[in-house]
Structure 1
């Protein structure tokens, strides 16, 4: 237990920062805990997550399954999740009156379907355990003093001192934003965006904006990158869980391609090209007299079906029995391996996730303490850890924040 009168400064008022602060204040009653947030907003990602419902965690109770959802950080998480993982998160919030529910895809939300429930819970804990919160307070430098304590320089020529510092600033989009941590000797893995959508400017598919399919397989041509899941067509290109997952796994390689590549979409994940060709004569015979535009055998959204037929050169009044071989071959290819040139990405500022950050070799996986400096800790996305979409980044925030709180003193 941390000694009475000691001070913990948490830099960053997001999920990891709050979870670290409120647990530290609860577990160490004599510890003075203070959150410094450089903006005027607290818990901003919590607020917008999951369309305002807050995807708190994921229904993945087995640690080996859970770590597979993180493109970066798996070795560290294998150790840290055994101390605090998804079931612990569910129990922690339940003890404070916030019940979580699992949806069909495994994502977990408060039963209220409102992120404000989670925000209110964390703010109430902060009030209950007298956590001081300072907004519009930016840390510009950290210095370890000869007695082991820390001096934090703040914007506006002020400084404060603390026994412990936990950095929970989230990911930075530019490498130079890490300079104040680099000056302490920490190695930084260069940051690049990790969750983003695919831009397809001028592609006719964008006219289908709003159309979604519950399951599609998307590959990046020339790589081993492939994911499956719901796909959403937008006015700028493609989004949805399958695209966001692909962007997370491909964060570095897609950055190296300057976000210019070909996405190959299989709209019928139950088929490969050869299996669809094998079954095609039977499908065609069964639908023979019906007009192909009106009879959508594959139960795809009607607008998408018409688009695929148009892109395959199929005339509107064509019956299934009369489909010419050339157009049939094109349609089969478009159904299971349609190519879309991608030229750029879109990231959502409020939900921005990066890969990169503090090198994990310099952080103790059991305590989140810096291996270079005693009393300096990290939690959340400031480290080179990131998960795919679905509550995994929040789970890492809760786990790392909890580990810091438990290891003080």
Structure 2
């Protein structure tokens, strides 16, 4: 049996952040990070297309779902995006802001971010042990916590669970951390599902023919009665399975959540997000002798414009003054409020985040310590918090990891 003052289960973004700040807070303690993988940080390395979107220049509680906005706000305030930028600068990683507001390392290499975290943890004397999958976490009679697996056992007065959710389980975050939390009294949210995930459309949905075409779009979620529930705008990519791209990932958790409440919930697309139905209708009515196809192709990728005309049963040569009311309304509806028959999603295997987890009301937010098991701390994606695309989930990992580290 081994002993440590603090054992951190999970060596991803939140776990490494917690390790660094725990060691900075108390340099004399033995701190051990256990990770089941052979190499740390697989999720960091694949993030942002291998560039790692470290955070966003502007982060607010409204960028997140799951726990209450007020609770999330408290955690973010303790270690905001500015603090993240400052920390990485201190570690030799300069960040650059892109047009979208996302912050990436100037090297455009995720490895730069991972190396900085691991090197700092090791510099501070943290023991990082790989191939140490934890299968048991138990409370001992003396109130200490025993962490064990096939590799052996470590006993600590304090343990941080930073095992992630279920997204991209091949990186190690397969949801088992939740089982460890449950064994110590925690419960999980009733719903746990993929967030930031591409969507799969019905086989006969014609826009799937446009695989590879991308454009700005607005996607909106509607109840079965037609009530608009929420919307998101951004770049969209047609795929041979259905839809992907930033706006699809952002809207996916809202659509999947709505579907749980209402099996008839719908996803609708506006292919010209800056225009409403009435505006497009008015423009079509004022076209006169101009060809409708030319007008539409100036606003949309050619292949999409042609498909919309075909679906609206409008000849390619037809002019504005030849457009009857019924055909015009069909085209307006298909262009600004097309129903997208979604039949599924790509699942946890490719989702970038997890919706659901350990509810925040089971955690003391000033410390990230469990309210149900003293000495146990939780941070990162194991918690019921998921952010929109753009570095927000990493910021939650940095913020919650910081608090857990300095507190544990």
TM over 0.5: yes
CA gap 1:80/1:176 in 2 versus in 1, 3 angstroms = closer
Is the Cα–Cα contact under 8 Å of residues 13 and 44 in structure 2 kept in the other structure?
yes
Deviation sequence 1:125-162 (CA, Å, 0-9, x none): 12211221222211122222233321112135x22111
Residue in structure 2 matching 1:72, options 63, 66, 73: 66
Match in the other structure for 1:122: 117
Runs of 4 or more consecutive aligned structure 1 residues displaced over 6 Å after TM superposition:
173-177
Aligned counterparts of 1:106 and 1:245: Cα–Cα separation in 2: 15
Contact 2:164 2:380 in 1 (8 A): yes
| Mapped pair 1:83 → 2:78 | yes
Q: Could you report, residue by residue, the CA deviation over 1:183-210 in whole angstroms, capped at 9, with x for unpaired residues?
A: 2111211422122122113221111111
Give the aligned length: 394
Correspondence for 1:197: 198
Name 1:54's counterpart in structure 2.
52
Report the counterpart of residue 315 of structure 2 in structure 1: 315
- Give the counterpart of 1:163 among 141, 157, 164: 157
Any gaps of 5 or more consecutive residues in structure 1? Answer: none
Mapped pair 1:225 → 2:230? yes
Aligned to 1:344: 344
Which position in structure 2 is the counterpart of 1:393?
Answer: 393
In 1, the alpha carbon distance for the partners of 2:332 and 2:256 equals 31
* 1:7-406 mapped onto 2 (5 Å cutoff): 7-60=5-58, 66-73=60-67, 74-155=69-150, 158-172=152-166, 178-190=178-190, 191-202=192-203, 203-222=205-224, 224-255=229-260, 261-282=265-286, 284-285=287-288, 288-289=289-290, 291-296=291-296, 298-347=298-347, 349=349, 351-406=351-406
Is this contact kept in 2: 1:10–1:167, CA < 8 A?
A: yes
In structure 1, how many angstroms separate the alpha carbons of the residues matched to 2:266 and 2:360? 32
The secondary structure found in structure 1 opposite 2:27 is coil
What is the deviation of 1:262?
A: 3.1
1:6 Cα deviation from its structure 2 partner:
5.3
- 1:237 shift after superposition: 0.6
Distance 1:176 1:84 in 2: 27
**How far apart are the structure 1 equivalents of 2:22 and 2:373?**
19
- Determine if contact 1:6/1:32 at 8 Å carries over to the other structure: yes
Q: CA RMSD in A?
A: 2.2
Aligned in 2, Cα 1:244/1:255: closer, same or farther, shift over 3 Å? farther
Cα distance change of structure 1 residues 11 and 41 upon mapping to structure 2, 3 Å threshold: same
Instruction: Say if 1:71 and 1:249, in contact at 8 Å, map to a contact too.
Output: no
How many angstroms does 1:279 deviate by? 3.3
Alignment check: 8 A CA contact 1:11 1:166 kept:
yes
Gaps of 5+ in 2: 168-173
CA distance in 1, matches of 2:352, 2:92: 29
* Cα distance in structure 1, aligned partners of 2:216 and 2:282: 24
- Measured in 1, the distance between the counterparts of 2:17 and 2:99 equals 27
Give the secondary-structure state (helix, strand or coil) at the position aligned to 1:358: coil
Question: Distance between the aligned counterparts of 2:176 and 2:47, measured in 1?
Answer: 27
Rounded to whole Å, the distance in 2 between the matches of 1:99 and 1:347 is 34
Structure 1 residue 71: Cα displacement: 1.2
Cα deviation, 1:345-394, whole Å, max 9, x if unaligned, reads 11362654212211211101111011122221011011111111111110
Distance 2:255 2:29 in 1: 42
CA-to-partner distance for each residue in 1:23-51, whole Å, 9 max, x for gaps?
21232111111111112231111111111
Distance in 2 (CA, whole Å) between partners of 1:102 and 1:31 is 37
Q: CA deviation at 1:225?
A: 3.0
Q: Is the 8 A contact 2:258 2:265 kept in 1?
A: no
SS for the counterpart of 1:152 is strand
When normalised by structure 2's length, the TM-score is 0.90
Report the Cα offset of residue 301 of structure 1: 1.1
Residues 76-115 of structure 1, C-alpha deviations (whole Å, 9 max, x = no match): 2121122111111011101111111222222111111111
TM-score (norm 1): 0.90
